[in-house]
Amino acid sequence: MAEIICNKNRGYKWTNKKGIYFKGYLQAENGEVWRSEEAIEQLYNIDSFEKFRKYLQKIYGVFAIIIEHGSEIWLASDVAGSIPLYYTDDLKVVADDVDAIIKSDNNYDELDSLRAFELYATSYVGYNNTVYKRIKQIQIGSVCRIKNNSAIETSYYVHAGNVSDRSEETAIQELDERTQAMMKRIIAAAEGRTVVISLSGGYDSRYVACSLKDNGVDDVICYTYGREGSFEVEQSRKVANALGYKWYNVQYNDSEIRELIHEDGYLDYSNRPDYITYLQNYYAVNRLKETGMLPDNAVFITGLCNDMPTGFYIPDSKRAEQFGFSNEGAAEYNVRQRFVKFSITEEAERKYKSDILKFLQGMGISVKDYESFVSALDCIETSGFHTHCYLNMNAVHGYFGYEWLLPCWDHDMLTYWYSLSPKLRIGQYLYEKYITEHLGRKYGVGTKKHLNLSAPTPFLDKMKRICGGILVRIAYPLGIPLKRNTDVNNFAVFEVALYKAISQKKAIKADRAGIILLLTIFMMEKRYGKTWYRDIKRYLK
């Protein structure tokens, strides 16, 4: 039987009883919530792996589950993969903490150069891979059965749907009904605690805030952060005031942001073997907690990742058709989009495409037309950047001892979005219409979101990056920050601090030397030493 290590107990905490390890909460469709030992009692009488999988198909919540069942171990994470679980290739260790796995045996710390390049180039490692050769993770919406020296993962929720046509009016009505049902579950899970929302200038947090107000929730604190006067701050202020919610703005001044590089406690806590770290809201939450603005038992509710199912990333049919309506076409499209910042070798490209084809096969997805092409991208993208990167915002909440809820990952809502025709989703058409003409308009906040575009055309964007790369080569070595209008978080001085701290300067591609690449290189040096670039640069053309 594998050794089970459950170390991460900030925010949601582990409960271990009757051979079941549980973290988070389970929720029925009617809103009933089970936590800790109550959740374990729900799981205890499940006597087969298939019943376990079917149980998860109908359950809601935020959770990670480890069950010792005779000589087997069953693992599961929620549909968002918000609490990751890892296991070693020899199946001797199952854990929520990769550092604990590595400490248990030094043989587990060998880097996989292809995955290290993937992390470097895209800021995350996809699917069930990690940067380590011998450590895997559970994919979102999946259950894993460890039995007879093998680990087999099976999906219980696939992030793709069966598309059915309906009129725009019917779709809007159904969206409102599903939103109301989802929000009732979220309110039940909040259990009367003060709700905290990171309220940006976009649609997702506005959707959550307005939906809470629509359901009579008044004990809400909204906060925003970044550069004073940015469109994010002004829109956030407007929405919070219209809803009558408390609102705090945490300004990101140069002196404070520069010091983020020294936040070793959080950087170590939040670093994962499939991602670097999430820092955007760290200083804001830290500041609000230090000044007593947040109750100790508050719960964070985010709109994380709702741009994905609502259609922000869907290509038009002509663009999709250029790649071909096949699994291979969807794989090529994703690899092109994902590695757009780098020219990669054919060897690397083949491997990453192979990852996608294997993943789509496991999910039972076959692309044959535009609709199924979009469904494939739904599954690929949701299981990629969104779960591995954006959801790590919750690492900040957990680090400071807070729980979080994920309304936009309610599987009833996701199934609705995935079932819509692409014509209603592309460019977030229906979602934008619902917010601007229905939900938001009700409270006087139906304005369209600001698009923070760096350049109006790809050519101008390329020219801007070339010029920016020249400036980086001159300014950063001199310690001069490059202030940009698109930098709403005021991270320019932080970028300079990262640049100075990085030893492997050759890893810095100057025309892409923004916060993501610099932070990735910095964290990879912090975790994996100062020679890894030598081993991965062979995947660059």
Report the distance separating Cα 188 and Cα 185, nearest Å.
Answer: 5
Report the distance separating Cα 415 and Cα 130, nearest Å.
Answer: 28
Res. 523 pLDDT band, cuts 50 70 90: very high
- List % helix, strand, coil for the chain (3-state, nearest 5): 50, 15, 35
Q: Phi, psi (5° rounding) for residue 23?
A: -140, 135
What pLDDT, in 10s, does the model give residues 9-61?
A: 999 999 999 999 999 999 999 999 999 999 999 999 999 999 999 999 999 99
Tokens of 428: 């977030």
According to the model, what pLDDT value does residue 295 have? Answer: 97
Find the Cα–Cα–Cα–Cα dihedral 352, 357, 361, 364, rounded to 10°: 100
Q: Is the pLDDT of residue 510 over 80?
A: no
Q: Which residue segments constitute the domains of the chain, with CATH numbers given? A: 3-155 (3.60.20), 168-308+388-442 (3.40.50.620), 317-386 (no CATH), 458-487+491-539 (no CATH)
Residue whose entry in the numeric block shows the structure tokens 């087997």: 72
What pLDDT, in 10s, does the model give residues 178-201?
A: 999 999 999 999 999 999 999 999
Selection from 173, 54, 82 nearest residue 416 by Cα: 173
Q: What average pLDDT does the segment 263-269 reach?
A: 95
Side chain identity at residue 444, one-letter code: G
Q: What average pLDDT does the segment 331-352 reach?
A: 96
Tokens of 230: 């940015």
According to the model, what pLDDT value does residue 146 have? Answer: 98
According to the model, what pLDDT value does residue 209 have? Answer: 99
Report the distance separating Cα 112 and Cα 129, nearest Å.
Answer: 10
DSSP assignment of 505-540: GGG--GGG-SHHHHHHHHHHHHHH-S-HHHHHGGGB
What pLDDT, in 10s, does the model give residues 268-316?
A: 999 899 999 999 999 999 999 999 999 999 999 999 999 999 999 999 9
What pLDDT, in 10s, does the model give residues 438-449?
A: 999 999 999 998
Q: Which H or E run includes 247?
A: strand 246-251
Q: Using CB atoms within 10 A of its CB, is residue 177 exposed (0-12), middle (13-18) or buried (19+)?
A: exposed
What angle do helix axes 113-122 and 346-362 make, rounded to 10 degrees?
A: 90
Report the distance separating Cα 476 and Cα 107, nearest Å.
Answer: 38
Q: In 3-state terms, what secondary structure has residue 352?
A: helix
According to the model, what pLDDT value does residue 456 have? Answer: 58
Report the distance separating Cα 233 and Cα 400, nearest Å.
Answer: 23
Question: What b/e string do you get for 23-48 counting C-beta neighbours within 10 Å, with b at 16 or more?
Answer: bbbbbeeeeebbbbeebbebbeebee
Report the distance separating Cα 361 and Cα 163, nearest Å.
Answer: 19
pTM: 0.95
Selection from 370, 366, 406, 404 nearest residue 386 by Cα: 406
Report the distance separating Cα 468 and Cα 474, nearest Å.
Answer: 10
Residues present in the chain in total: 541
Q: Is the pLDDT of residue 457 over 80?
A: no
What pLDDT, in 10s, does the model give residues 153-174?
A: 999 999 999 999 999 999 999 9
